[in-house]
Structure 1
């Protein structure tokens, strides 16, 4: 019988889906909820792709990796590609670790923890930042706004959440123009942020961390015209091919949302895998290789919460509650 969110969440033991909606006790409650074993059993037949950004706490990240080795089967990007090519599902409890944006902590913090446990991973990089000390644009925008930066298109929106939402909602040329206005009007410029270098990418690849495409400048593709979508993907593809000596075959969508125009470009370039950030588990044999689901996780996430993310319980509960709220 196909999996149904509403069916799963309503046909459960009394009290199974009630509990603290927020707060420090939530992770404990979810992990020991009567539905956690049900979700863990279901997850055994699914593919969990974990999407990290930076690794700010190597010790906590190492504990998560140790947990994965006990509960799951870490797999490589190449193993997922082979499963798709051969039409053979991955092993039960398969988990792929990925990193979006790939700041230097992937090299300095994540790599040693992964290598010591022989766990593979994949890092999706923003090509125009490689070899620079340019901060990520969303960090820069927040800093500039705190130091007097203004942009006409944003009005008085200087609170970080509203500011970033406003920038992401703009057509991409307007986003870039607004960033320029923030730079020229701010009292101080954002501090530099050392990024990965081409040689770092080659070291990561040689250490079983595959390198993938995350566009040139990390725009919201839905706010780009077709020419920009193609330029963002193709420009990054060419740069990565030059640095690595081989073409990348995997792509992660900026902001995690699928774009059919990007899908078409990826197919033309020979990409085999594409990753979303939709807070879902996927099938062990991906039905849509350019739309593979992922679960967001942070290196500081507690083991209790990590378990409920890995099983799919916390993401499912979040979607269920969001659905209830949307329907009144």
Structure 2
């Protein structure tokens, strides 16, 4: 006896709108990140006129700096790499990393030549110079940093081991050479490149906050934006041992002028102790997650917060959340975790 089996297949289709919404969210995230990078590298007041995705998973941004200069920029798909004539961070020197985009391939070739030239120049300076800052930091006596940055962006301790990890980070940051603004009982650490436009713009606000909000802001100079000039500025700053004089130097050096334009006597750039302090500042800074400047570290009601901030309102919000130093020493269960930490 033969039987007939009828198989009925029901095909369920996923609405196209689901994919459209997901892609729209992706583009929105990319645009927000691109605008944030523009503000970080070109200063508050810079803005993006147009944003679009181009072949190779790259995004093109037409922006305007706060000085009114037109900027043609590219952001790679990692949402962290911004390109303006040459790589801002990190350098691409290999065509294979250019995603098949001709303009990026040209930049990669140009960067490859620049890296080679920079290496030769550094070797020459280290061998023949009487001791510029760049030569000091390339000396064999300086330890090379091989630390991999941690994956987390915001540490919210859930266990004793995680709490200890936060304490280790705080201890490292507290041990760095800095300029202290204010005498409050709450600590706010700021990693600052003296050539960072956003840092320069925020400095007057930070000085005022240190006076009015009972907070001790410890400005830690690093060389991040313009490695050689930022190095010279930072070493000159750290060469000063008097606290008040350091603040005066900080105000002087945090300008959109080169070190040689601001300082006629450059003997301080051969200060070995200051160069070693800067080396340690850079090492700790590079070990932190998602670095950019200005970059803040603070022990708060939400846990340890480590992030770049360019909004005055966000910095004030962060200050309000900082745990007073005395209270930090009394905590036994670790900082409280709050779902509002990402609002900062």
TM-score class, shorter: under 0.3
- TM-score for both structures, normalised by structure 1: 0.26
Higher relative contact order (CA closer than 8 Å, sequence separation 6+) = 1
Rg larger in structure: 2
- TM-score for both structures, normalised by structure 2: 0.25
